[in-house]
Amino acid sequence: MRTLTCVLTDVVLLAATLWVAVAIRFGDLVPDYEGALLKGAIFTLAVVIGFYYNDLYSGRAPRGVTILALKVIQAFVAAGVLLGLVYFFLPELALGRGIALIHPPIALGVVLVWRVIYYWALQQDSFVENVLILGTGNAAVGLARELLGHKSEGFRVVGFLSRDPADVGKSLFNPCVVGTYDDLVGTTERYNVHSVVVALDDQRGVLPLSELLTCKLRGVNVAQSSEFYESLTGQLPVRNLRPSSIIFSQGFRKPRFLMTTRRAVEFSLAFVGLVSTAPVMILAAIAIAIESGFPILFRQERVGQHGRTFTLLKLRTMRKDAEKNGAVWASAGGDPRITRVGNFLRKSRIDEFPQLWNVLRGDMSFVGPRPERPVFVEELQAHIPYYGERHTVKPGVTGWAQVRHGYTSTIEESEAKLRYDLYYIKNMSFWLDLQILLDTFKVIAFGRGAR
């Protein structure tokens, strides 16, 4: 909701300041400006895209006015580059040099003032959501850490509730235990609590149902920690996730119409993609051959949907003897096995282009969990709960975990990515796929996550 508020307000302010700039340019409050609506819409859309790719819709407040101003300036510069391309091919849509000089300073000042006021308002009590955590175990402390890391999104942890009165006042992790289960209703009133999150490691026989029901009927939001964690982080907490939470969840649905339509669209786009990227792949193949010889393509067995294996195709980015001693994880600090050409191909994601053939064949989708090698899958399934569930959908060329976390080199990082993968599988939809694709372009543009 806050992201939508920012987008809509930015659109209104950009349109209003553009109208002011046009009025100043032509000296008329109602100027006769041909094609003003279409030209203004294109200009505004370009700036909003610039805001998006500079993380001004991420939900987190920039650290200080200076950083905020730099991000807004970068957004306008990015919008200028994008508009330059549009105007080059469609010059009739250009606003004109006069307006282009007048509008940016006005819009920059107005948007900056609005954002400063907005982020300041979010820190005020009337906009902050007070959260009370029911529990004192690992699930409760883990949730508190996440909430304290999302302060700019309007959450405040008022404390924990324990079953044992002796724990009251004990500091678990800032803040402390502020009451007991029996005093749940009174605690919500004292601290003006908006949400009670049940974060018990074991709920059997200890859940204060009567008190939770009273809170619910009084308008206090009552949520399970897994659901609250999911909405807060875009992940599923695999270590605290109960099978019943999956079985009775509203998610994980895969309507037949959606999957059939998705396959038809992906087939068409993969075919067009292979044709349109062929010149780039040919140039990349020549560069690979010149630097390190043949083969050009890298073929590797990966685990796909329902555990079936397939051969994944990529442009080779490593030395030919990269795995002469067996399979190893990608290195976090720059893998010495990667060639100079390979480093560029990875950062630009050109090495992934041959996977369009895997999409065309039906081995992969454009969006989904990244496929892993059988040797690593076996190891990860032995250490990470629910790891095998990521194979219930087709693997993807890109995915929710890729744009949110990046590459992995340890079991711990693989578990972190699984939390994102399970969130995607639960919530997969056209709109989530679109968001992931947009975020993928952002990752490519800024070189994030390449390894």
Q: Is 389 left (phi over 0), alpha (psi -120 to 50) or beta?
A: alpha
CA 200 to chain centre: 28
From the list 186, 161, 194, the residue with the least C-alpha distance to 176 is: 161
**Do the beta carbons of residue 233 and residue 146 sit within 8 Å?**
yes
Q: How many CB atoms lie within 10 A of CB 356?
A: 25
Query: What global pTM score does this model have?
Result: 0.79
Q: Which two tokens stand for residue 356?
A: 């369009």
pLDDT at 32 (0 to 100): 59
Q: How many CB atoms lie within 10 A of CB 103?
A: 23
All domains in the chain, ordered by first residue: 2-122 (no CATH), 128-233 (3.40.50.720), 256-446 (no CATH)
d(CA 299, CA 310): 10
**Do the beta carbons of residue 197 and residue 215 sit within 8 Å?**
no
Calculate the alpha carbon distances from 230 to 140, 143, 283, 308 in Å.
14, 10, 43, 29
pLDDT at 449 (0 to 100): 47
pLDDT at 1 (0 to 100): 66
pLDDT at 450 (0 to 100): 45
- Three-class HEC string of the chain: CHHHHHHHHHHHHHHHHHHHHHHHHHCCCCCCCCCHHHHHHHHHHHHHHHHHHCCCCCCCCCCCHHHHHHHHHHHHHHHHHHHHHHHHHCHHHCCCHHHHHHHHHHHHHHHHHHHHHHHHHHCCHHHCEEEEEECCCHHHHHHHHHHHCCHHHCEEEEEEEECCHHHCCCECCCCEEEEEHHHHHHHHHHCCCCEEEECCCCCCCCCCHHHHHHHHHCCCEEEEHHHHHHHHHCCCCHHHCCHHHHHCCCCCCCCHHHHHHHHHHHHHHHHHHHHHHHHHHHHHHHHHHHHHCCCCEEEEEEECHHHCEEEEEEECCECCCCCCCCCCCCCCCCCCCECHHHHHHHHHCHHHCCHHHHHHHCCCEEECCCCCCHHHHHHHHHHCCCHHHHHHCCCEEECHHHHHCCCCCCHHHHHHHHHHHHHHHHHCCHHHHHHHHHHHHHHHHHCCCCC
pLDDT at 59 (0 to 100): 67
pLDDT at 324 (0 to 100): 62
d(CA 418, CA 235): 8
pLDDT at 436 (0 to 100): 92
Per-residue pLDDT of the chain (451 residues; tens, 9 = 90+): 677 888 899 899 988 888 888 788 777 666 556 667 788 888 888 888 888 888 788 766 677 788 888 888 888 888 888 888 888 888 888 777 777 788 888 888 898 899 888 888 877 777 788 999 999 988 898 889 888 877 667 788 999 999 989 989 898 877 899 999 999 999 999 999 999 999 987 777 688 899 999 999 999 999 988 888 888 888 888 887 777 777 777 778 887 888 888 999 999 999 999 999 999 999 999 999 999 888 999 999 999 999 999 999 999 998 877 666 666 666 545 677 888 998 899 888 899 999 999 999 999 999 999 999 999 999 999 899 999 999 999 999 999 998 888 777 788 888 889 999 999 999 988 889 988 998 888 777 765 544 4
Q: Is 274 left (phi over 0), alpha (psi -120 to 50) or beta?
A: alpha
